[in-house]
Amino acid sequence: MNDQLFSVPGISCGHCATAIRHEVGAVPGVRHVDVDLAGKTVRVTGGEERAIRAAIAEAGYEAA
């Protein structure tokens, strides 16, 4: 299964990362979530892109 990389310019702290990991990790099919604060990216293994984007939005952030 391929990784998907999302740019999330609004992430800036550990709380942001935790919120995103929690919401995206609950998406069916997602096996791994890695948040890179310095790069402001979220790498996700598994899951559907639309559902992942919705989960990032639910956490309070926008995937560019």
Question: Alpha helices, DSSP H only, in the chain?
Answer: 14-25, 49-58
Domains of the chain, with CATH numbers? 3-58 (3.30.70.100)
Q: 31 is written with which tokens?
A: 């096996």
pLDDT tens, 40-56? 999 999 999 999 999 99
pTM over 0.85: yes
Beta strands in 1-64 (DSSP E): 3-7, 32-36, 41-45
Give me the pLDDT at residue 2, please: 84
pLDDT at 49: 97
Query: Residue 17 has which token pair?
Result: 């990362």
Indicate the pLDDT class of residue 16, thresholds 50, 70 and 90: very high
